Amino acid sequence: MKTTKPTNTTRASAPALAPSAWTPAGPTGAPRGAFAAVAALAGPLGRADQRLLEAALLDGHRCSELARALGVEAAEVRRRLGAAMLALHAALIGEPAHGPVASLLALRALDALDPDEAALVDAILAHDPALQRIHAGYCELVGELCLLVARVAPPPCPMPPDDAVDAAVN
C-alpha cells in the first residue's frame, strides 16, 4: 500500500465577495462615500468587507441574506463581517478583541444575525453581565458608525400651485 504525504490543511483563501453581488435595499444614493473614511480607520479592511458592513449597517441585510446573494456559506459572511467589526472596534474604540463570541456579540449589535441566532445571543446575554458590557461596547461602535456616515438630504418636495391646493380642499 502506497503512503501519501499529508496535505496542507490550512484553509484556502476565502472567495472574494463581489461588491455588486446584491442590490442595496436602501434608498438610491445612500451615503456610501463617507463610509470609506470609517473603513480606512480599520487599516486593511478590504472593499468587499467594507461593502458587507455597508449592506448590514445601511441596508439592514442579515448575514444569511448576504450569503444567499453572494452564493457563499452564511458562516463565511458571519466570519468576514465579524472580523471587520472587530477591526473597526479596535480602531475606533481601542479595545482589541477576537474570537467567535466577540464576533457574535458584534454581529448582534449590528443586527446582522437571523432571528434564531439573535435569540440565542440574547439568552446568553441575559445571564452574563460581563458579556453584556462587551456587547454594549459593540452597540456603541454601531452608533459611532451611524454618526460617522454623512447624512443625505431628502429630495425637495414639489409644491403644487396654490390654485390646485384650493381646488383639492374645496
At residue 12 the predicted structure's pLDDT band, cuts being 50, 70 and 90, is: very low
Q: What is the pTM of this model?
A: 0.67
* Whole-number Å distance between alpha carbons of 46 and 39: 8
Using a pLDDT cut of 90, give the percent of the chain over it.
33
Q: Is 136 helix (H, G, I), strand (E, B) or coil?
A: helix
pLDDT given at position 1: 40
Write down the pLDDT at residue 157.
67
Helix axes 129-148, 115-126, angle to 10 degrees: 130
What is the pLDDT, as a whole number, of residue 111?
A: 93
> What pLDDT score does 151 carry?
61
Q: Do 39 and 50 contact (CB within 8 A), yes or no?
A: yes
Whether the predicted pLDDT of 99 surpasses 70: yes
